[in-house]
Amino acid sequence: MRIALVQVETTGDKKRNLEIIEPEIRDAASHGATLIVLPEATMYAFGQGRLDTQAEQLDGPFATALRSLAKELDVTIVAGMFRPADTKGKRNRVYNTALITGNGVHKGYDKIHTYDAFDFKESDNVKPGTELVTFTHEGAVVGVATCFDIRFPEQFKDLARLGAEVIVVPTSWADGDNKLDHWRALTVARALDAGVFIAAADQARPGGDHVDKPDGAPTGVGHSVIVSPTGQRLVEGGFNPGIIYGDIDTAEVARARKTLPLL
């Protein structure tokens, strides 16, 4: 299976974001990738305004545009978006959804663990999901998690118990002191915990290599990564936009779990 992680920096303009990602997805498909993972908040970046005014259902313009593209290219695309959820007090909340579309699948995973940490409270505007989600791609079971979920090992173990051999993780990882170290450690730890491949696509860091400090909103630190079930970083990006490719053999999952039977 060839996986592509499309590391981009999205904006507060949904139409512009589609314009940014479409050529990247086409490029990834032309290089043989069949599972193409984009970051959390691909549809609309954090810190750009109210999420409820931008939220769409899975039959809305953003999701259907990616469904059409996935069908045309014969690939599966995973990308972060926002859907209407509920009203809490005076706030209209949304779901932070990972869209999965292509090869007969069109559904979403709603992020379970909202980012209520490091002086940010995502749950003020985002309703937590409750259901684990998997799908099948090229005969392999693929689980889905989003960003802050990666700090919760039981979710990854539960996905593995549902059969997941690969877990994709769309992410918009907040920058800050030691945050890149956290990201690199956690992606490896979750692969080892669950005996799975982790394919985690983060937003590129605003400013790339030339930035002094984060602006406060969860944006990205880059370093999208594919980790093997034995904890090896097979491929890893840097801070800047780009496409990261990895070829994986899911037979490695059974071998890793036999050697280290943690489940």
Residues 223-234, mean pLDDT to the nearest whole number: 98
Instruction: Give the pLDDT confidence of 54-109 residue by residue, as tens digits.
Output: 999 999 999 999 999 999 999 999 999 999 999 988 899 999 999 999 999 999 99
The verdict on whether 121 is a catalytic residue reads no
Residue 213's pLDDT band (cuts 50, 70, 90): low
What DSSP line would sit under 205-255, residue for residue? PTTTTS-SS--SS-------EEE-TTS-EEEE--SS-EEEEEE--THHHHH
Q: What is the pLDDT of residue 27?
A: 98
For the segment 212-235, the average pLDDT, to the nearest whole number, is: 88
pLDDT digits 0-9 by tens, 23-69:
999 999 999 999 999 999 999 999 999 999 999 999 999 999 999 99
DSSP-derived 3-state class of residue 18:
helix
pLDDT of 210 above 80: no
Does the annotation count 154 as an active-site position?
A: no
Q: What is the mean pLDDT of residues 243-257?
A: 97
Closest to 198 (Cα-Cα) out of 155, 241, 237, 144: 144
Q: Which stretch of DSSP H or E encloses residue 149?
A: none
Q: pLDDT band for position 215 (50/70/90)?
A: low
What's residue 143's pLDDT?
98
The active-site residue out of 122, 147, 157, 165 is 147
Burial class of 213 by CB neighbour count within 10 A (0 to 12, 13 to 18, 19+): exposed
112-121, 165-174, 196-205, 214-223: least confident range: 214-223
Across all residues in the chain, what is the average pLDDT?
A: 96
Q: Tell me the whole-structure pTM to 2 decimals.
A: 0.97
What is the percent of the chain where pLDDT is above 90?
91
Which of 111, 122, 157, 165 is catalytic? The answer is 111
242 pLDDT higher than 80 = yes
The more confidently predicted of residues 112 and 174 is: 112
Known catalytic membership, residue 236: no
Token pair in block for residue 27: 């490029």
d(CA 98, CA 118): 23
Q: What is the pLDDT of residues 96-144, one digit of tens each?
A: 999 999 999 999 999 999 999 988 899 999 999 999 999 999 999 999 9
3-state secondary structure of 54: coil
Residue of 9, 14, 24, 40 marked active site? 40
Interatomic CA distance for residues 19 and 66, integer angstroms:
11
